[in-house]
Structure 1
Amino acid sequence: MSVDTTRGGVSRVIGGESGHRSFFGGTHSRGRVIAFVAAFLAAVILTPLFGIWGLLIALLVGGGGFLLTQRTHRGSILDRRTRRTRWAQRLKDGTDRFEPYTAAQWDERTREYQEARDSAAKRAAWKQLSALRATPDGADGMGWLHSAPNEPGIAWHAPVGEPNYLSVTFTVTGQMSGVESSSVMRRAAEGWGMFLASRAAPTSLVGDVQMLTRVLPADSTPHEAWVADAQDPTAPLEAKKSYEQVLRIAGGDAMVQRHFVTVSWPITAAFIDAAKKYGPGRDGWRGLMQQEIASTVRGLIDARVGQVETLSARRLGAVMLHQQNPSRPIDQVAGVNPAALGLPSHDEFSAHVVDGIDPSTGKPVEWWHRTAAIRAENLAVGARGQLWLLDLLIGADIHFVRSLAFHVHLVPNGEARESARRDLLRDRAAAIEDAEKGRLANDVTGANMSAAARRDADLAHGSPHHGGTWVGYVTISETSRSELMKASRSLEETCSTGLGIERLEWLDSYQSAASGTTWPIGRGLGSPTPSLGTRLARALAGTSEKESL
């Protein structure tokens, strides 16, 4: 991304470009590529056999695939059909509900399933059994490498169908507080960029970095406790009531922010090889992670993100439980079991509904959550400064609890430069083809070519910059279905008018799993498939020699 520091702060041009180019040029979806390949094979096989009818069938396959995968502001027909099919399957299997696993409940429901006589009873018993799971959908396959109290918690993730990785979460106070000069803002941006660049080097073991901001109502309890200890016993009753009124007015609509940074280490051959030098088995993993955590803390301090503190397993669990049940204080560690981080819940098509208890009253509460993705192709192309998300964080029109997370997958300079040049070459070829055939220039091709050219310039030989892919997620929380509907509309309006986000991609039909993308556990961004050249280069690099330190 190009950097422009001529206007005080730092601005970067983002948006428009959705990913690397496909074989057919442009950024076609996987479904469209499959449809085009199927049409080509149909033409090759059926035309010699059936003549014009075979060619007609191939054209229908290609045209149908094009229409089914055509993007609109509500997604493509194929996307909508996929969501409906997924939701119907979840209802059938009973995975739309979650209940924390207990051995007693499992044995009881297993017995009920075995004793069921007819098919309807068996289906009902199976759905009850399927609801019992060890972890909620948003943290599928999550365990712990190290969960000792008052020590950095190292989460071990083994999600189904995805590579395993370790993650550690750090809480930070933020780069800026109040009004800061443009030079402070510039140094802060440069510091954060250097932090990411240092973790993207080929020798680094870090894979992803997640930045999370939790926006929640202000807690007046510390102020009330301070007043109880510091007030003059002889103070007039009117003065005490006046201060209580100040707290009530000031905290009525006040929202505060809590910032977290989650760093992920994929468990690759390089990681395992490096861990062997710190000890056998899992002890070596823990020894390596202790050094990686210390290095990350130093890097975050150098990046000017404020005070840095590593979360223990119980503190991370408290954050996750708070995000499921915002009535629970975010720092309430009492009663947290790192091995049981899910609350009973069920899904609706567009909501993740959690049942919890309000600790202050002891009464049951119900929270409705909805998550949307923010992708590059849905952003208007333009230069954006460091504060471009300010309306989403402190907007006057949105008063609901929310979490905003951005995930960055780090790509070494060489691999990113190869991808940028390959994309630029294909975009230029498409532009030349349009010109030779007398067609008007394609706006999408022009925007993609401009973005690829900026990436190629940033990643020129000798540049300290590295590459990356990113995605953003926002989760909103309300206490009822109607309030969640209103909050969804308010969020869409804020994003479209103030942020240039042309479309929020609501992750409906699997909202419980989508909630995990804004939990501080590094979920939500898959690693892109490396090219053949990249895989060959990694194979040639191998691992370290046994005799080396």
Structure 2
Amino acid sequence: MNQQEQAEQQRGVFILGGEGSHRGFWGEKAKGRGWGVVIILVIAFIFVPSFGWPPIVLGVLAAGVLVLITSATHNGSILERRVRRKRHRESVKTRSGDYHPYDQQRVTMLTAALEQTAKTKDKAERAARVEWARELAAMRATPDGADGMGWLQSARGIPGIAWHGPVGEDPYLSVAFAVSGQLRGMESPDSTLRKAEGFGAQLAGRAAPGSLLRFVQPVTRILPADTALQEWWVMTNIDDEAPEWAKKSYEEVLMLSGTGAMVQRHYVVASWPLNARFAEKARKFGEGRDGWRRLMAAEIESAQRGLHDAYFGEAVALTARGTTAVIRHMQNPSRPLDLVRDLAPTDLGERARGGEFSAHVVEGIDPETGAPVEWWHRTAAIRADHLSVAQRTPLWLLPLLTGSKLDVIRTVSFHIELTPASEARRAARKDLVADMATEHAQTAGGRIPLDEGSVRVLAAQRRRNDLAEGGGHHGTNWIGYVTITSDSKEQLALDSRELEELCDTDAGIHRLEWLDSYQSAASGLTWPIGRGIKPDEPTWAARTMRMLADKGEKEAIS
């Protein structure tokens, strides 16, 4: 086989999995544990002159305990499990998982009732005061998954620009686009590959240092097929004189076609960090928030062109009410996905109750019947180091997105941080050196190396080659999430097991990291709002270059 045939065979095939972070002094993982061991031993040696050998023994024992409680298993480490249990106990005790949409009239009434009964000795009133205080604490403007979210632009008929200021995170703006998806109907392998490469090229174009857009979040919502339009067509077009058996045959067709059928709705969310460079660019478009909106209008138009060029079909920027409707539907699937008539942009949350370790429980209303409904949600993270190290094609997630083995409402979301090629190139070079050194150490003395190490070296080599000068590639930092939705606790447990089995056998995801003990906040990681990714920590050299680059020239025209 010549080099051209090999290149054709490898075209569209990539290696993904096993690499959760860049390598370091302590290897790819367990950096915190390594430094913890060092600190413990240093402290032990400090006390040696005063107490002799006992501090050394205690230090070795403490280091051993630290290694044991932080060692990763398929169920997480001992420390992680204890932290989750403690968090859940505190949540149950304080009922912090409860959420009620903010109602000013209700707040006024409850506040007045608490003031009037402040000195009461009646047992019934005291019990009522506890419930009133809990209801007030649960009443918030936004649900946990959208904490700190507001709107820069929320008028009707124009793109909704969400303004985010989560606690402990950097602020950013986000816009959600509804897209038709890259694959429609039957597609040839070449067409599929061309579209995947087109999306990669668009991401690379947005990763350049001068680009303001830094995060992209593709979202796929999988839900049962809605036969309402077909039923309406039958009702308005069937002949009144048709025999009864013919009418029933139409009903049977609709029932058979709708049973077990799932459809997909696709979105792409773009996020712009609100940093000094963004503010400097916005000043060239105008003063204050008007300059921000004009700059974002240009950025939104550019993002739409990029999605169209990446074969996503017609990309439509959702309005603020449209984005809110999607978020409300993801909490309460009884609501139609595009129902906006009864919503304001600030109506982001459905009533929810806490107390569940492994679920976010929403208590909503079916808008068609007015009957109360209850939906159980559970979210899991998909990390690179939870994937089997293997060669994959662009369709490696297809079983999770469209597979018939999993008949459950779900949302699959991936968050992608775009990294300039110069920064990614340095990290790739360090990773390749570390992986080659590890493989050399494994083969020393005639030992047989692990297959995982060889595949990892191959992946690092390909990544370094892709990032070579003139290749047009840039770096990425990514994480995925999947949220499943059921109508009961028992069904959610069954669906969780089916999802784990599907991911392991068909998608090469050998572990789903269930985000238990804070599922109410985890639900927001699959909403179209750009939440859920920790920005990659830049190297010292990258931070220095960013500092030298500053915000750009104030006098420049753009």
TM-score range, shorter chain: over 0.9
Q: Tell me: CA distance 1:148–1:140, structure 2 relative to 1, closer, same or farther (3 Å).
A: same
Structure 2 residue runs without a partner (length 5+): 1-5
Question: Matched residues in 2 for 1:19 and 1:179: separation?
Answer: 37
Aligned pair partner of 1:516 in 521, 524, 536: 524
RMSD: 2.3
- Partner of residue 223 from structure 1, selected from 222, 226, 230: 230
Q: Which residue of 2 aligns with 1:407?
A: 415
2:345 paired residue number: 338
Q: Output the amino acid matched with 1:130.
A: A
Give yes or no for contact 2:383–2:479 (8 Å, CA) kept in 1.
yes
- Give CA-to-partner distance per residue, 1:432-457, whole Å, 9 cap, x none: 56667998757776555443333222
Distance 1:465 1:402 in 2: 32
Contact kept? 1:86, 1:509, Cα under 8 Å: yes
Classify 1:123/1:445 alpha carbon distance in 2 versus 1 (closer, same or farther; 3 Å). farther
Q: What TM-score results when the alignment is normalised by the length of structure 2?
A: 0.92
Alignment of 1:18-167 (within 5 A): 18-30=20-32, 32-111=33-112, 116=118, 126-167=133-174
Amino acid at match of 1:18: G
Secondary structure of the structure 2 residue equivalent to 1:273: helix
Secondary structure at 1:372's aligned position in 2?
strand
Q: Number of aligned pairs?
A: 545
Do structure 1's residue 362 and structure 2's residue 370 form an aligned pair? yes
Q: Could you tell which deviates more after superposition, 93-102 or 192-201?
A: 93-102
Within-5 A mapping of 1:116-515? 116=118, 126-347=133-354, 348-431=356-439, 448-515=456-523
Larger mean Cα displacement after TM superposition, 528-537 or 193-202 = 528-537
Name the CA distance, whole Å, in 2 between partners of 1:464 and 1:387: 23
SS at match of 1:177: coil
> SS in structure 2 opposite 1:20?
coil
1:38 Cα shift? 2.5
* Distance of 2:518 and 2:321 partners within structure 1: 27
Give CA-to-partner distance per residue, 1:479-509, whole Å, 9 cap, x none: 0000001100111111111111111100000
Q: Distance in 1 between matches of 2:347 and 2:421?
A: 40
- In 1, distance between residues paired with 2:441 and 2:7? 36
**Distance in 2 between the 1:82 and 1:144 partners?**
34
SS in 1 for 2:47: helix
1:281-307 Cα offsets, whole Å, 9 max, x none, are 000000000000000111111001122
Partners of 2:70 and 2:197 in 1: how far apart? 40
Does the C-alpha gap of structure 1 residues 82 and 14 become closer, same or farther in structure 2, counting only changes over 3 Å?
same
TM-score, length of structure 1 as denominator length: 0.94
Superposed CA offset, 1:344-370 (max 9, x none): 102310000001111222211000000
Distance of aligned partners of 1:447 and 1:45 in 2 relative to their CA distance in 1, 3 Å threshold: farther
Task: Say which is worse superposed, 240-249 or 351-360, in terms of deviation.
Answer: 240-249
Shift of 1:17: 0.9
Please tell me whether the aligned partners of residues 358 and 516 of structure 2 are also in contact (alpha carbons under 8 angstroms): yes
CA contact (8 A) 1:35 1:66 kept: no
Q: Equivalent pairs: percent with the same residue? A: 49
Post-superposition shift, 1:88?
Answer: 1.8
* Residue 126 of structure 1, CA deviation: 4.7
CA distance in 2, matches of 1:431, 1:46: 39
Partners of 1:534 and 1:17 lie apart in 2 by: 21
- Partner of residue 6, structure 1: 8
Q: Would you say the 8 A contact 1:5–1:11 is kept in 2?
A: no
Q: 8 Å contact 2:193–2:394 — kept in the other structure?
A: no
Distance 1:29 1:504, change over 3 A: farther
- 2: distance between equivalents of 1:423 and 1:270? 30
Report if the CA contact (8 A) 1:141-1:158 is conserved.
yes
- 1:543 paired residue number: 551
Q: Is this contact kept in 2: 1:94–1:126, CA < 8 A? A: no
Q: Which amino acid aligns with 1:467?
A: G
Greater mean alpha carbon deviation, residues 40-49 or residues 355-364 = 40-49
Separation in 1, partners of 2:114, 2:516: 30
What secondary structure is seen at the aligned counterpart in 2 of 1:492?
A: helix
Deviation of residue 105 (structure 1)? Answer: 2.9
State the Cα distance separating 1:9 from its structure 2 match.
Answer: 7.0
What secondary structure is seen at the aligned counterpart in 1 of 2:99? Answer: strand
Residue identity in the other structure for 1:240: K
Mapped to 1, the partners of 2:54 and 2:111 lie a distance apart of: 55
Q: State the shift of 1:249 in Å.
A: 1.3
Structure 2: which amino acid aligns with 1:214? R
Q: C-alpha distance in 1, partners of 2:350/2:324?
A: 12
The AA in structure 2 aligned to 1:517 is L
Amino acid of the structure 2 residue aligned with 1:355: E
